[in-house]
Chain A
Amino acid sequence: MRTLAFLFSLVAGLVVFPAVAAATPSPVSAWYVYGSSPAAVASYAYARGCDFAEGQPGGGLRLMLLDFGAARKLSAGTWGTIDFSSTTLSNTDILAALKAAADGYHNCHVRGSVDILYGNSNYHLSASGMSTTDAWYAGYHQSERSEDLFDYQAAKGYDSQTSDAASDMEPSWDGPSITKQLVNGDQAQGWALYYDFGSADGCPQSGSSDGPCNNGWHVSDVAYVSYHGLAMPLPEIYYSVNARQWTVVRRWWNANQGGYVFAGATATTGAGLAPGAAWNTLSSLNGGLVDSELVCFGC
Chain B
Amino acid sequence: MFRLLIAACVLAAGGGIAAAAVVPAPQEKAAALQRRVSVATTDSSAEPATPPGSVPQPIPARMLGLDVPVPIPPSVLRVRNGWLVSDGRTLVAVYSGAAGKDPSVGRLVIVRQDLAAGRQTVRTIDAGPTGALTITSAPLGSAVEMSAQTGSLRVRTAGGRTLRLDLGAGTLT
Contacts and interface: CB of A to CB of B under 8 A. Distances in A.
Report whether chain A binds chain B: yes
A70 B62 CA distance: 19
B144 to A, nearest CB: 15
Contact of B9 (A8, A51, A232, A291): A8
In which size bucket is the chain A interface? 35 or more
B3 A259 contact: no
A17 B23 contact: yes
Given A5-B37, A191-B32, A43 B52 contact: yes
A214 B74 CA distance: 10
Given A4-B9, A17-B24, A85-B84, A36 B59 contact: yes
Given A17-B4, A106-B43, A192-B32, A201 B75 contact: yes
Interface residues of B, number: 76
A254 to B, nearest CB: 10
A29 interface: yes
Given A16-B25, A82-B68, A170-B74, A230 B37 contact: no
Contact of B17 (A1, A19, A229, A270): A19
A84 to B, nearest CB: 6
A47 B118 contact: yes
A67 B74 contact: no
A121 to B, nearest CB: 6
Contact of B20 (A15, A18, A104, A124): A18
A14 B17 contact: no
B94 to A, nearest CB: 12
Nearest to A68: B69
A192 B28 CA distance: 11
Contact of B29 (A29, A48, A70, A230): A230
User: What 5 A-B pairs are tightest by C-beta distance, nearest first?
Assistant: A157-B45, A51-B118, A19-B20, A103-B49, A298-B122
Interface of B: 1-9, 12-13, 17, 20-26, 28-30, 32-45, 47-55, 57-59, 62, 64, 66-71, 73-76, 84, 86, 88, 91, 93, 101, 109, 111, 113, 115, 118, 120-124
Interface of A: 1-2, 4-6, 8-10, 12, 14-20, 29, 31-32, 34-37, 39-40, 42-44, 46-48, 50-51, 54-55, 59-63, 67, 69-70, 82-86, 100, 102-104, 106-107, 109, 111-113, 115, 121, 123-124, 127-128, 156-162, 164, 168, 170, 172-173, 187, 191-193, 198-199, 201, 214, 227, 229-230, 232, 236, 238-239, 241-242, 259, 261, 263-264, 268-271, 288-289, 291-293, 297-298
